[in-house]
Amino acid sequence: MFNAGRGIVHNHFDQSRLLMSTSLHTGKSTVLSVIWSNQYQATAVQDRFVHGQVVWVRVWQRLGRSGI
Protein backbone atom coordinates (compact mmCIF):
# COMPACT_ATOMS: atom_id res chain seq x y z
CA MET A 1 0.00 0.00 0.00
CA PHE A 2 1.24 3.44 -0.88
CA ASN A 3 0.13 6.90 0.20
CA ALA A 4 0.00 10.02 -1.92
CA GLY A 5 -1.21 13.55 -1.42
CA ARG A 6 -0.09 17.03 -0.54
CA GLY A 7 0.35 16.21 3.14
CA ILE A 8 2.38 13.04 2.56
CA VAL A 9 6.00 14.02 3.07
CA HIS A 10 8.00 10.99 4.15
CA ASN A 11 5.58 8.07 4.55
CA HIS A 12 4.73 7.28 0.92
CA PHE A 13 5.08 3.65 1.91
CA ASP A 14 2.01 2.75 3.98
CA GLN A 15 2.19 -0.94 4.81
CA SER A 16 2.82 -4.40 3.46
CA ARG A 17 1.05 -7.56 4.62
CA LEU A 18 1.83 -11.22 4.15
CA LEU A 19 -1.16 -13.47 4.86
CA MET A 20 -1.77 -17.18 5.39
CA SER A 21 -5.24 -18.53 5.94
CA THR A 22 -7.27 -21.66 6.45
CA SER A 23 -10.99 -21.69 5.80
CA LEU A 24 -13.93 -23.91 6.63
CA HIS A 25 -16.73 -23.90 4.07
CA THR A 26 -20.09 -24.78 5.57
CA GLY A 27 -22.55 -25.38 2.78
CA LYS A 28 -22.54 -23.05 -0.21
CA SER A 29 -23.03 -19.82 1.64
CA THR A 30 -20.77 -19.48 4.69
CA VAL A 31 -17.00 -19.45 5.06
CA LEU A 32 -15.18 -19.27 8.40
CA SER A 33 -11.54 -18.24 8.07
CA VAL A 34 -8.66 -17.96 10.49
CA ILE A 35 -5.94 -15.78 9.05
CA TRP A 36 -2.44 -14.95 10.20
CA SER A 37 -0.98 -11.72 8.93
CA ASN A 38 2.58 -10.52 9.23
CA GLN A 39 2.60 -6.82 8.49
CA TYR A 40 5.05 -3.99 8.32
CA GLN A 41 3.58 -0.52 8.63
CA ALA A 42 4.88 3.01 8.48
CA THR A 43 3.87 5.51 11.17
CA ALA A 44 3.48 9.26 11.10
CA VAL A 45 6.93 9.53 12.70
CA GLN A 46 9.74 9.43 10.17
CA ASP A 47 11.83 6.23 10.23
CA ARG A 48 9.54 4.58 12.81
CA PHE A 49 7.76 1.42 11.69
CA VAL A 50 5.43 -1.07 13.30
CA HIS A 51 5.88 -4.79 12.81
CA GLY A 52 2.55 -6.43 13.60
CA GLN A 53 1.50 -10.04 14.09
CA VAL A 54 -2.22 -10.32 13.47
CA VAL A 55 -4.70 -13.09 14.19
CA TRP A 56 -7.81 -12.47 12.13
CA VAL A 57 -11.11 -14.39 12.47
CA ARG A 58 -13.50 -13.82 9.61
CA VAL A 59 -17.00 -14.99 8.73
CA TRP A 60 -18.16 -14.51 5.16
CA GLN A 61 -21.63 -15.24 3.79
CA ARG A 62 -23.29 -15.25 0.40
CA LEU A 63 -26.86 -14.04 0.55
CA GLY A 64 -29.59 -13.71 -2.02
CA ARG A 65 -29.98 -15.64 -5.24
CA SER A 66 -27.08 -18.04 -4.87
CA GLY A 67 -26.76 -18.20 -1.10
CA ILE A 68 -29.06 -18.34 1.89
Partner 1 sequence: MGSYYTVMFNPGHLPFFKAVATLALRMNVLIVMSIPRISHAQERQVVHQYQQWTEYGAQWKLTDKYSVLFDAGSRLIDNYLKGTFYYTRVGLDRVMSKSVAVHAGFAHVGYFLRSPRLRQVEHRPYQEITVTHIRNKWQVQQRLRVEERVFTPVSAHAADYNWFNWRFRYMCMVELRAGRFFSFGGGKR
Binding site for partner 1 (CB under 8 A): 1-5, 7-8, 13-14, 16-26, 31, 33, 35, 40, 42-43, 47-67
| Residue 34 CB, nearest approach to partner 1 (Å) | 10
Please, how many CA atoms are within 13 Å of residue 20, restricted to the half-sphere of its CB? 3
Find out whether 31 and 60 touch, Cβ atoms under 8 Å.
Answer: yes
d(CA 47, CA 11) in angstroms, rounded, equals: 9
**Least distance in angstroms from the C-beta of 19 to partner 1:** 5
DSSP-assigned letter for residue 23 = E
Least Cβ distance, residue 43 to partner 1 (angstroms): 8
